[in-house]
Amino acid sequence: MDKLKKVLSGQDGNNDDLNILQAANEASTLSWGTRVKGFIACFLLGGFCSVLGVCLLWLPRIGILLFIVLYTFGNVCSLASTLFLLGPCKQLKRMFEKTRAFATILMLLFLALTLCAAFWWKIFALALLFCILQFLAFAWYGLSYIPFARDAVLKLFALCVK
């Protein structure tokens, strides 16, 4: 009889499942301090991997491969660090907004092409070119978060060309 009352009043067992999901969601959310620590740790790891990759570039035979892997991993870590600040869903939405969708697609494309050129095609000169393009796309993507930064860079290049 109690079960019938719960069902008729809308308090059946489904709410228990919902409460469990809500509790899991609340337990998995990070405090602001933890988010900042995660951002800093991931960003520093990305920077360290990128710098280490550049340092290892000069090793004979294996250096270029280590550079490509560490540099690309460093960029992925740096990009992932921003997920801590806004959360994954909100950050992904912002990455693909109209103003930065092209830069995001280019950045992700060059990340993938760098690894393809190094491991699949085994053309290391092309992989280095993709690393350079990866850097430029990442910089252009980063500038999209600073108001009027892209316009300022374009005007600076226009002045340099004249």
Q: pLDDT tens for residues 21-53?
A: 455 445 557 888 898 999 999 999 999 999 999
Which two tokens mark 134? 């990866």
Closest C-alpha among 55, 53, 74 to residue 65: 53
Predicted TM-score (pTM) of the model is 0.76
Numbers of helices and strands, H then E, in the chain: 8, 0
30 phi and psi, to 5 degrees? -100, 145
**What's the average pLDDT block by block, 10 residues per block, for the chain (162 residues)?**
49 54 56 91 96 92 93 95 87 92 96 95 94 95 92 93 84
Rounded to whole angstroms, the maximal C-alpha distance in the chain is 86
What confidence score (pLDDT) does residue 6 get?
54
Kindly tell me the burial class for residue 107, based on how many C-beta atoms sit within 10 Å of its own C-beta (0-12, 13-18, 19 or more): buried
The pLDDT, as a whole number, for residue 7 is 44
Instruction: Please report the pLDDT score of residue 24 as a whole number.
Output: 45
